[in-house]
A and B are shown apart, each in its own frame.
Chain A
C-alpha cells in the first residue's frame, strides 16, 4: 500500500516536472521559463546591470582591450591590433544581440523550421532554392583567401563564441528561454550568410516573370506603354549630361526571341519599400565651409534593430558608425578623415532561364544544341516537432543546379502549380568580398582610398556617398552589374541558348560615379542611376521617382547649410506625388454635385499643404482616393489568374498625362464607357465613404497617423515584445519614408569638421533584450525626428562626462 502511494506521487511529480520542463504547443516550458531564479525574470534589467564586470579575462585576446560605454550604451572599443578589435566587437555584439544575430543567419540559411516548426517550411525552402547558402559558401571561399578579412572573420567569430561559452542558462537571452532552444557555435559562414541575407533583402526582387506574363496578355506595345523604362521628368543619381569618358565594352545583340510561357504563381519577394536616401553637400554650400553627409537607409523596422552602433579604435583607424550584428567592422559611418553612407542601387541583377530537361530524371538539360549534366543539392530541413515527445522530422528538398544557377521553380515549387523549370542567375550567387570594402572604408583617409575600397564590392549593389574633411564629395553606384543588351533579362530567358546569357560585367571603373560636381551636392534615393547618355543598359522595374526629385529640388535651393538643415531634410514630409496629382484630381470633380460629406473632404484636400503629417486627415483622404483610383484604373490586372504587377505611381501619372483617354480607364465590369473624370469621381466617392466607415468602426479620427498605425515589431512578430500604435509622420515615396512597418532604420548626419561632428538615431536601442531599459529607448526621439549626439572619442574630445562605464578585457593568463 505504501509502495503504491509512493509510486503514484513519485510518478506524478516526475511527469509534472517533465511536462513543465518542455514546450506545449507554443506555450513556453512553464517551469523553466517562470522559475524566478533562472527563468525570464532574470532577463529583466535595470541600467546598472549593464555595467557590472570592470575586468574580464578572455581566452581569445592577444592584448588588453578597453571598452567605454556611453550613456546610450554605445561601446567605444580601443584595441592594440585588428585581431583584438574584431574579437571585442564580436564579444560585445553577442552580449547585446546574440539571439538576433543567430536568427537572421538562420533565416538566410533556410533553418527557421528548426526553431519555429512546420509553419516556416515554405520560407526555408524558398531561401534554400534561391541558393543563399550556396552563395554564402562561395563568398566565404573568396573572403578566406584574403588574409585581412580571414583574420577579422575568425577573430569576430571567436569573440562571439567566447561569449556563448561562458553563458549559463540564467543569462541566456530571453528569446531562447521563450522558444526553448540554445545558441549554437558561431562561424565565419554565418557572417557570410548575414551578408547574403542583406543581398536578398535589397537585391532579391525582380519582375521578369510577371513582365513575360503581361506581354503575353496585353502585347509588347501596351507593355511598353504601361511600363516605360524611363519617365519623362526623371532625375537620375548621376545628373543628365554628365560625360562618360571611357570606351564601353561591346555587347552583341542576338535575335530577340523570349520563351513565351505563363507563370501562375511567382515566389515571395522581399519588401518593395526597402530603399534609402543619402546625400553629401560641398563646403561651398554650408555655413561652416565644411562638407556634410547624410544617410538614412529604409528597411523593415524591427526589434532588435538591424543596426548596432559602436566606435572601433586601433592604431590604424578610429571609426564610428553602425554595424550589422553578425559582421565585423562598420557599415555606415565616419572616421577622422572621411564619412560614407549607402542607399540601395536597385537594378535587375536576377534573371530567369527556362530549362528543358532531357528526361524526368533531370540529370541533363539542353544547352547550345548539347545536353549538359546537372548537379543535385539535397537540402535537409530539420523541422521542430509540434510536441516535445515527438521526434524531429527531416524534410528533404532536391534542388537541381545548372550552370546558370539553381532551378528555383519546378514541379514541386512554389506550391504545386508550376510545371516549368526556371533556373536563377543572380549576382548574389557569386563569391564576393563585400567585407573587404567595409573594412577598408573604416580606415580610408581620402577619396583615393575610398575608391580603392569599393573595387571588391559586388552585391547588393549600393550607391556609396562620400565626403572628406579635405573637401571632396562623391557618389559611386557600385556593384557587379551584368553586361546586357537592351531588354536582356527583363523577361524570362531561354536557358538553352548561349546568346541569352550575360556577356560579362560592366568594368568596375565604368560604374557610374561623380566627384565634386558643379552643383555642389551629390544625392541618391534609389532612382535611375544615370541619364540617357550612359552606354550600358541599366533596367530596373522599381526606380524611385519622387523622393529623389524632392531631395534634389531642396538641395539645389539650399545655401549656408547647417546640420539642422540636414536633419530637417531627412524628416521632410512633403508629398511630391500629391502635389503633382491632387490639383488635376480635384479639378475633375464637380463640386456642386457632391454630398455634404464629400464637399467637406474636397475642402480639406483643397486646403492641404501636401505635408504628410500623422495628425492631419488630408493625407489619409488623399491616399485612400489615390488607391481607390488605382484599383479602378488597373482593374484589368486584378482578376487575372497568372502573376502580374501593376504599373507603378510614376508610370501611372505619366501615362494619364500622355494619353488621358487610354482604354485602361474604362471599367470592364460596367456596361458604360467611363472616362477619366468618371473614374476620379467614383473613386473619390468610394474613398470618402471608406474613411467615414473607418471612423465609425475605429471610433477615432481617420488621421494619417491612426490609419497608417506604425509599429516596430519584434522579430518573433509578438506584439507584446514590440512597440505598436506609433504616430509617425511621412509615408511611401516621401523623403521621410515611413510607411507603417518600413522607414528610416538609421538616420545619420555628419559634418566633416575637425574634429568631426555627427548625430544619429535609429528606432530601437543598443540592447536586444526586451527586458532592458536600452531595448527601445531611441524610438521616441526617432519618432519625433530628433537625434542623439554621436560621441566620437578622439584626441581632441574625450567625452569623459558621457562615459558611464569602462571595462577592461584582458588575455586570460
Chain B
C-alpha cells in the first residue's frame, strides 16, 4: 500500500513538475518523495522506476496515438529502431531509470540522515 502511494506520488509530482521544468526533474521528484517516505532500497528503486516509467509510457503512447504516430514513426525510423513501439519502450525505460535512480538515491539519503541522527542521539545519551 505504502509502495503504491509512493509510486503514485512520484508519478503525480513528476507530471506536475514537468509542466514547467525539464525532464530531469523526474529524477528529482523521485528523489524527494523517496527521501520523505521510508522504504528499503530495492523497493524505493522500483517505485521510482515504475512511477516515472509508467508515466512516460502513458504520455508517449498518448501523444503518439493522438497524432497517429506522425512523428513517432519518423523518429523511430531516424534512430533505426525498426518500430515506433520500441522507441516508446526506450522512452519508458529512460524515464524509469531516471525515476528509479532518483528514488534509490533519495531513500539512501534518508537512511544516511537517520543513521546520523541515531549516532548523534546515542552520543548525546552517553552524557
Tell me the residues in window 9-34 of chain A with beta carbons closer than 8 Å to chain B beta carbons: 9-10, 12-13, 16-17, 20-21, 27, 30-32, 34
B5 at the interface (CB under 8 A from A): no
- Chain B residue contacts of A5, Cβ below 8 A: 41, 108, 111-112
B101 at the interface (CB under 8 A from A): yes
> Do B78 and A17 touch (CB < 8 A)?
no
A2-B115, A41-B60 in contact; A771/B108 too (CB < 8 A)?
Answer: no
Nearest opposing residue in chain A for B30, CB measure: A13
- Chain A residue contacts of B63, Cβ below 8 A: 36, 41-42, 44
> Do B105 and A9 touch (CB < 8 A)?
yes
- Chain A residue contacts of B31, Cβ below 8 A: 13
> Do B105 and A10 touch (CB < 8 A)?
yes
> Do A13 and B105 touch (CB < 8 A)?
yes
Q: How far is the CA of A13 from the CA of B104 in the complex (A)?
A: 9
> Do B71 and A9 touch (CB < 8 A)?
no
> Is chain B's binding surface mostly helix, strand, loop or mixed?
helix
Q: How far is the CA of A21 from the CA of B101 in the complex (A)?
A: 15
Which residues of chain B have a CB within 8 Å of any CB of chain A? Answer: 15, 18-19, 22-24, 26-27, 31, 41, 56, 59-60, 62-64, 66-68, 70-72, 74-75, 77-79, 87, 90-91, 94-95, 97-98, 101-102, 104-105, 108-109, 111-112, 115
Q: How far is the CA of A178 from the CA of B67 in the complex (A)?
A: 19
Q: How far is the CA of A32 from the CA of B104 in the complex (A)?
A: 21
7 closest A-B pairs by CB: A771-B71, A35-B23, A36-B59, A720-B78, A44-B67, A720-B77, A44-B71
Which residues of chain A have a CB within 8 Å of any CB of chain B? Answer: 2-3, 5-6, 9-10, 12-13, 16-17, 20-21, 27, 30-32, 34-46, 169, 174, 178, 718-721, 770-773
- Chain A residue contacts of B64, Cβ below 8 A: 41, 44
CB distance from A572 to the nearest CB of B (A): 35
Q: Using A10-B105, A44-B67 as known contacts, list a sample of 12 further A-B pairs with CB atoms less than 8 Å apart, ordered by residue number in A.
A: A2-B108, A5-B112, A13-B102, A17-B27, A40-B71, A41-B72, A42-B63, A45-B67, A169-B22, A719-B77, A720-B74, A721-B78
- Chain A residue contacts of B91, Cβ below 8 A: 34-36, 41
Q: How far is the CA of A585 from the CA of B102 in the complex (A)?
A: 75
Q: List 24 A-B contacts (CB under 8 A).
A: A2-B108, A2-B111, A2-B115, A5-B108, A6-B111, A12-B101, A31-B23, A32-B23, A35-B56, A36-B60, A36-B63, A36-B95, A38-B23, A39-B23, A40-B75, A41-B59, A41-B91, A43-B71, A44-B67, A44-B72, A174-B71, A770-B71, A770-B74, A771-B71
- Chain A residue contacts of B75, Cβ below 8 A: 40, 720
> Do B109 and A6 touch (CB < 8 A)?
yes
- Chain A residue contacts of B98, Cβ below 8 A: 13, 16-17, 20, 31
A36-B63, A42-B63, A44-B63 in contact; A773/B70 too (CB < 8 A)?
Answer: yes
> Do B108 and A37 touch (CB < 8 A)?
no
Q: How many A-B residue pairs have CB under 8 A?
A: 118
> Do A771 and B74 touch (CB < 8 A)?
yes
CB distance from B85 to the nearest CB of A (A): 14
> Is chain A's binding surface mostly helix, strand, loop or mixed?
helix
CB distance from B6 to the nearest CB of A (A): 17
Q: How far is the CA of A718 from the CA of B71 in the complex (A)?
A: 14
Q: Which of A9, A31, A44 contacts B70 (CB 8 A)?
A: A44
- Chain B residue contacts of A40, Cβ below 8 A: 71, 75
Q: How far is the CA of A31 from the CA of B21 in the complex (A)?
A: 13
Q: How far is the CA of A721 from the CA of B74 in the complex (A)?
A: 6
CB distance from A462 to the nearest CB of B (A): 36
A2-B112, A771-B74 in contact; A46/B97 too (CB < 8 A)?
Answer: no
Nearest opposing residue in chain B for A21, CB measure: B24
Nearest opposing residue in chain B for A37, CB measure: B18
Q: How far is the CA of A31 from the CA of B77 in the complex (A)?
A: 18
> Do A771 and B67 touch (CB < 8 A)?
yes
> Do B59 and A9 touch (CB < 8 A)?
no
CB distance from B23 to the nearest CB of A (A): 4
- Chain B residue contacts of A772, Cβ below 8 A: 70
Nearest opposing residue in chain A for B61, CB measure: A36
CB distance from A14 to the nearest CB of B (A): 9
CB distance from A51 to the nearest CB of B (A): 15
- Chain B residue contacts of A174, Cβ below 8 A: 71
CB distance from A28 to the nearest CB of B (A): 8
Q: Which of B77, B95, B104 contacts A9 (CB 8 A)?
A: B104
- Chain A residue contacts of B78, Cβ below 8 A: 178, 718, 720-721
Nearest opposing residue in chain B for A721, CB measure: B74
- Chain A residue contacts of B72, Cβ below 8 A: 41, 44
- Chain A residue contacts of B71, Cβ below 8 A: 40-41, 43-44, 174, 770-771
Nearest opposing residue in chain A for B20, CB measure: A168
Nearest opposing residue in chain B for A770, CB measure: B74
Q: How far is the CA of A740 from the CA of B60 in the complex (A)?
A: 36
Q: How far is the CA of A2 from the CA of B111 in the complex (A)?
A: 7
- Chain A residue contacts of B105, Cβ below 8 A: 6, 9-10, 13
- Chain A residue contacts of B68, Cβ below 8 A: 46
CB distance from A586 to the nearest CB of B (A): 45
CB distance from B55 to the nearest CB of A (A): 8
> Do B108 and A20 touch (CB < 8 A)?
no
- Chain B residue contacts of A770, Cβ below 8 A: 71, 74
Nearest opposing residue in chain A for B15, CB measure: A37
Q: How far is the CA of A32 from the CA of B18 in the complex (A)?
A: 11
- Chain A residue contacts of B18, Cβ below 8 A: 35, 37-38
Q: How far is the CA of A41 from the CA of B15 in the complex (A)?
A: 15
Q: How far is the CA of A27 from the CA of B78 in the complex (A)?
A: 10
- Chain B residue contacts of A35, Cβ below 8 A: 18, 22-23, 26, 56, 91, 95
Nearest opposing residue in chain B for A20, CB measure: B94
> Do B19 and A37 touch (CB < 8 A)?
yes
Q: How far is the CA of A367 from the CA of B63 in the complex (A)?
A: 67
A36-B56, A41-B64 in contact; A17/B24 too (CB < 8 A)?
Answer: yes
- Chain B residue contacts of A34, Cβ below 8 A: 60, 87, 90-91, 94
CB distance from A48 to the nearest CB of B (A): 10
- Chain B residue contacts of A12, Cβ below 8 A: 101
- Chain B residue contacts of A32, Cβ below 8 A: 22-23
Nearest opposing residue in chain B for A15, CB measure: B101
> Do B109 and A37 touch (CB < 8 A)?
no
Nearest opposing residue in chain B for A772, CB measure: B70
- Chain A residue contacts of B56, Cβ below 8 A: 35-36
